[in-house]
Amino acid sequence: MGSTIPLLKEQSLFVITKKVLPWILYALLPLALLRLYFYPLPFPPSPETELPHSSTPITITTHSSLSSSSSSSTPPLFSSPSSTSEKEKGGDDDENETACDYFNGEWVRDLRGPLYNGSTCSTIKEGQNCFKHGRPDSGYLYWRWKPNQCNLPRFDPNAFLQLIRNKHIAFVGDSMARNQLESLLCMLSTVSEPKLVYRNGEDNKFRKWQFVSHNASVSVYWSPFLVHGVEKSSSGPNHNVLYLDRVDERWGKDLDRIDLLVLSVGHWFLHPAVYYEGGSVLGCHYCPGLNHTEIGFYDVLRKALRTTLSSIIERRGGGNGGGGGRENTNGIDVIVTTFSPAHFEGEWDKAGACPKTKPFRNREKEVEGMDFDMRKIEIEEVEDAKGRGKEFGGFRLEALDVTKLALLRPDGHPGPYMYPFPFANGVRERVQNDCVHWCLPGPIDTWNEIFLEMMKKWERTAME
């Protein structure tokens, strides 16, 4: 009898465990999924996905030469501290400075991942919140840009906020300008929450945030041509109208209250349009049925940039220059973000329009065709305006040359995940894809890492 009791207890325990254990597992599964959503695990690098080191300079250069190969004898625009850390570790740079071209390099694996995610940043546009919309892979989040000559430091939100203390930054341009702005806001919000103080226009195309901790403001102005334009609409002509000899005053009227201007345009110039200059029709781009000369859009982009940069120089180029105290002068800093290529493969409304899940390897893809020409025009106009603005101490201008960096990242777009869970009911033959803008977090965060290094360079120069 005494030996029977332990046996019965063991049997009872077995029965209870058998009944309860499945329910415990069912309860733990949702908790595990929530943990993965808010804190996705990093993916370790593998031999198949790691990009190789290359001592060969890549095609795009950051100086005024626009040849198809970079020249080792030409000094880079910007410098950064040198580093001996391994590319997989992504360590910070030491204090010794060396010349560095931030725009020539390769994408390498980074175990750290982004500073934020789709649930911790409230300013992400829904169409770019890829993880929240069900994108199943997260490997695209674990890459960093490694310049050939140095390391690009990880974004330091405190340093950025300190540099813009008591200043107003404005992002002006098309939806790529907004994409870059929202990336910046997300990274800054990891240390200081931005307060929305103004919004206006359809889809909140004009907005302003304030970082109270640093008395700093960040704005976005929708201006897809930079110059004055009338966009096509369902109730009007099926083409845009551009006036190439005057800037868009929606941002121009606020120019005297802006300390740092980030310009980003390009994609809207591909749309059908009629162009005016000096009160007369100059020509058009793809305007069948209209009695206008077809002139394309390359020269139009050049004219729009020249008008824009000339107007900035005329209105704000008379400051005295200087560093941290420039908020009390009439000077202005200007960044032109170069053209960001799209990655459509086939039709835009078919599944798999941008299916890549990892970056291109170095030399696997070259900047060519329209992407090359758009970037070339932007770099040339920046260099020309820098020459014309030299006489003004308060005018600083540089190109944020992201064309090559962007070209090598076909994996960073929302694709079909511009909408929530597009394949919840099975794979459809037709599905809208976004292969132009960037997931947040995503590759475009790197644009702002380089942006910060450019600002640091300006600050060091001003202190000399």
Q: Could you list the active site residues?
A: 175, 434, 437
**Of 334, 352, 350, which is closest to residue 388 (Cα–Cα)?**
334
Q: What residues have CB less than 8 Å from 224, skipping those under 6 apart?
A: 173, 174, 175, 231, 265, 267, 268
| Contact yes or no for 155/92 (Cβ under 8 A) | no
Q: Which stretches within 357-421 are classed as H helix?
A: 369-388, 403-407
What is the chain's percent helix, strand, coil content, to nearest 5?
Answer: 30, 20, 50
DSSP summary character for residue 218: E
| Contact yes or no for 346/352 (Cβ under 8 A) | yes
Q: What residues have CB less than 8 Å from 378, skipping those under 6 apart?
A: 266, 301, 305, 336, 338, 339, 399
Instruction: Report d(CA 213, CA 197) in Å as an integer.
Output: 14
DSSP summary character for residue 430: B
C-alpha distances (whole Å) from 221 to each of 185, 310, 339, 375, 387 are 15, 19, 18, 22, 27
DSSP string spanning 231-287?
A: ---TTS-SSEEEEEEEE-HHHHTTGGG-SEEEEE--GGGGS-EEEEETTEEEEEES-
Q: What are phi and psi of 227, to 5 degrees?
A: -85, 170
Encoding tokens for residue 112?
A: 């750290």
